[in-house]
Amino acid sequence: MFKRYYAFLCQTVYKIIPKGEVAEDIIQELFADLWRKRGQLEFTGSIQGYLRRAAVNKTLNYIRDNKFRFEEEEQIAQMPSDHSPAGALVEMTELQGAIDKAVDALPERCRVVFALSRFEQFSHQEIAQQLGISVKTVENQITKALRILRDELAPYIKTDS
């Protein structure tokens, strides 16, 4: 199974995190997790679809856990010189925590559909095919995710009114 799906899964992760070593590490970790849980796993549907979902979820968890590290330098580099990096860092950390918490709180299907749409830029048709659901279900899940995220992040959204 490792030999058959390793390259495919690395490419899937690489679309989300374009760093080869990171993608390989995530997939190796995924296979190690699967090996440890081999007695508990139940596959319904295609193994490739299951592995793809597991890889995307593992990648999302990696992003959540390491997001601050990825964006910290970029955000500080873009700040005007008179802007306090410490204050912005606190705000950024708080906002990132709220975003991570809101995304993590999404129902499983909603989170996966949202991630494939927004992080991997899959079309609704591609998501439907990968997950074995209708395009309308994909649209409904994205709408639901956006509504939940908008509600959860309302305190952080500035409006002009």
| Token pair belonging to 69 | 């590290």
Q: SS3 for 63-117, per residue?
A: HHHHHHHHHHHHHHHCCCCCCCHHHHHHHHHHHHHHHHHHHHHCCHHHHHHHHHH
Distances (CA, A) of 49 to 75, 126, 127: 35, 12, 11
The CATH number of 106-161 is which of 3.40.50.12780, 3.40.50.720, 1.10.10.10, 1.10.443.10?
Answer: 1.10.10.10
Is pLDDT at 107 greater than 80 in this prediction?
Answer: yes
Q: pLDDT of 60-79, one tens digit each?
A: 788 777 754 545 545 545 55
pLDDT at 85: 55
Q: pLDDT of 27-44, one tens digit each?
A: 999 999 989 988 887 777
Distances (CA, A) of 14 to 7, 22, 137: 10, 8, 26
Which CATH architecture does the domain made up of 1-85 adopt? Orthogonal Bundle (1.10)
CB distance 135 to 128 below 8 Å: yes
pLDDT at 79: 53
Confidence band, pLDDT 50/70/90 cuts, at residue 122:
confident
Distances (CA, A) of 37 to 9, 27, 29, 41, 52: 19, 15, 12, 6, 17
Per-domain boundaries in the chain:
1-85, 106-161
Q: pLDDT of 75-104, one tens digit each?
A: 545 555 455 555 556 677 777 778 878 887
Burial class (CB in 10 A: 0-12, 13-18, 19+), 137: middle
pTM beyond 0.75: the answer is no
CB distance 93 to 68 below 8 Å: yes
pLDDT at 68: 45
| Token pair belonging to 27 | 């997939």
